Structure 1
Amino acid sequence: MLLAQLLDRAGTGVWAAACVLYFTFVIGLDAGQVGLLLGASGVAGIAGSPLAGHLADRFPVRSLLIGAHLLRLGTLCLMLVVTDFVLLLFVVAVTHLGDRGAKTLEMLFATRVAGDRRATYQALSRSSANAGYALGAGLAAIGLAVGTRGAYQVLILADALSFLVVAALVWRTKEPRGRGLVVPPAGPADAAGPAGRGPWRDRGYLRFVLLDIPMHLDDSILGIGIPLWLVGRTEAPHELIPAFLVVNTVLVVLLQLQVSARVETARQAAGAVALYGVATFACCALLAGAGAGGVWGASAALLAAAVLATAAELVRSVSSWELAVRLAPKEARASYLGVAGMAQSVQKSAGPLLLTGVVMAAGPAGWLALGTAVAGLSLVQRRSSLRRLDRLERLERTPPVPAASG
Structure 2
Amino acid sequence: MLSRVLPPPGPARMLTFITMVMSLGQGLWMAINAIYAVTIVRLTPGQLGISLGIAAVLVLVSSIPLGHLADRAGPRTVQLWSFLSLAPLTVALVFVQGFWSYLLVTSVQGLAYRAGNNARKAMIAANVPRADRPHVMAYIRAALNVTMAIGACLAGLVLVWGERIGYQGAVVFTAFCFLATGLLTLKEAPVAPVPATAGTAFAVLRDKPFLAFTVLDGMLVTHALLLDLVLPLWVIHHTDAPRWMSAAILLVNTAFVVAFQTRAARGTGDPRSASWASLQGAGCVAAACLIFATTSGTGLLASCALLVVGALLHALGEIRQAAGSWTIVFDLAPNHAQGQYQGMYKMGGDIGKMFAPAVLTWLIIGHGVIGWIVLAVSYAVLGAAMPAVVARGTRSRSTAEEAPAAA
TM over 0.5: yes
Shift of 1:83: 1.5
Quick check: 1:24 aligned with 2:29?
no
How far 1:398 sits from its partner (Å)?
8.1
Q: Give the match for residue 351 of structure 1.
A: 356
**What is the CA-CA distance between 1:123 and the residue it aligns to?**
0.6
Q: In 2, distance between residues paired with 1:254 and 1:71? A: 34
Letter of the structure 2 residue corresponding to residue 323 of structure 1: I
Q: Which amino acid aligns with 2:86?
A: R
What residue in structure 2 maps to residue 242 of structure 1? 247
Q: What pairs with 1:199-214 in structure 2 (closer than 5 Å)?
A: 199-214=204-219
Alignment pair present for 1:361 and 2:371: no
Residue 294 of structure 2 aligns to a residue in which SS? helix
CA distance in 1, matches of 2:405, 2:177: 49
Looking at structure 2, the residues matched to 56 and 254 of structure 1 have their Cα atoms a distance apart, in angstroms, of: 33
AA of the residue aligned to 1:129: L
* 2:161 is the counterpart of 1:156: no
CA distance in 2, matches of 1:100, 1:351: 21
Residues 48-127 of structure 1: matches in 2 within 5 Å? 48-116=62-130, 117-127=132-142
The amino acid across from 1:339 in the alignment is M
Distance 1:393 1:200, change over 3 A: closer
CA apart distance, 1:33: 2.0
1:376 maps to what in 2?
381
Shift of 1:397: 7.6
Check whether the contact 2:86–2:179 (CA below 8 A) recurs between aligned residues.
no
In structure 1, runs of 5+ residues without a counterpart are 186-193
> SS at 1:293's partner residue?
coil
Superposed displacement of residue 169, structure 1: 0.6
Which TM-score applies when normalising by structure 2?
0.89
Please list the CA deviations of residues 239-282 of structure 1 after superposition, one character each: whole Å capped at 9, or x if unmatched.
22222222122111111111112211111101112112211211
What is the alpha-carbon distance in structure 1 between the residues aligned to residue 395 and residue 352 of structure 2?
28
1:307 to 274, 298, 312: 312
Contact in 2 for aligned 1:56/1:334 (Cα 8 Å): yes
The answer to whether the Cα contact below 8 Å between 1:17 and 1:140 also exists between their aligned partners in 2 is: yes
The structure 2 residue matched to 1:269, chosen from 274, 277, 280, is 274
| Counterpart residue number, 1:40 | 54
Residues 235/98 of structure 1: CA separation in 2 closer, same or farther (3 Å cut)? farther
Aligned mates of 1:357, 1:87 — CA distance in 2: 34
TM normalised by structure 1 equals 0.90
**CA–CA distance in 2 between the matches of 1:91 and 1:398?**
46
Which of 142, 148, 152 aligns to 1:137? It is 152
Corresponding residue number in structure 2 for 1:223: 228
Q: Is the Cα–Cα contact under 8 Å of residues 43 and 349 in structure 1 kept in the other structure? A: no
Shift of 1:391: 4.3
Q: 1:139 to 1:239 in 2, by over 3 A?
A: same
Secondary structure of the structure 2 residue equivalent to 1:268: helix
Structure 1 ranges of 4+ moved more than 6 A = 182-185, 194-197, 394-399
Q: Determine the C-alpha separation between the residues in 2 that align with 1:16 and 1:268.
A: 34
1:36 shift after superposition: 2.0
- Decide which moves more: 32-41 or 4-13: 32-41
Query: Offset of 1:196 from its aligned partner?
Result: 7.0
Q: Which moved more, 1:364-373 or 1:159-168?
A: 364-373
- Residue 320 (1) aligns with residue 335 (2): no
Aligned partner of 1:190 in structure 2 is none
Cα distance change on mapping 1:278 and 1:41 into 2, 3 Å: same
**Structure 2: gaps spanning 5 or more residues:** 1-14
Q: Do the aligned partners of 1:39 and 1:349 also contact (CA within 8 Å) in 2?
A: no
- 1:173 matched to 2:188? The reply is yes
Contact 1:61 1:109 in 2 (8 A): yes
Structure 1 residue 385: Cα displacement: 0.9
Give the drift of 1:19.
1.1
Letter in 2 for 1:312: G
Measure the CA separation in 2 of the matches of 1:50 and 1:336: 7
Query: Residues 7 and 398 from structure 1, CA distance in 2 versus in 1: closer, same or farther, beyond 3 angstroms?
Result: closer
Residue identity matched to 1:154: G
Q: 24-33 vs 370-379, which deviates more?
A: 24-33
Mapped partners of 1:86, 1:183: distance in 2: 37
- Partners of 1:101 and 1:399 in 2: how far apart? 30
Shift of 1:214: 1.1
Q: By how many angstroms is 1:140 displaced?
A: 0.7
The change in CA–CA distance for 1:55 and 1:374 in structure 2 (over 3 A counts) is same
Tell me the residue number matched to 2:162.
Answer: 147
The structure-2 alpha-carbon separation of the partners of 1:201 and 1:158, relative to structure 1 and needing over 3 Å to count, comes to same
| Among candidates 260, 263, 285, match of residue 255 of structure 1 | 260
Q: Quick one: distance in 1 between partners of 2:362 and 2:51?
A: 19
Give the corresponding residue for 2:21: 7
* Residue equivalent to 2:406: 401
Per-residue CA deviation, residues 305-330 of structure 1 (Å, 9 max, x unaligned), is: 22222112201221112111212233
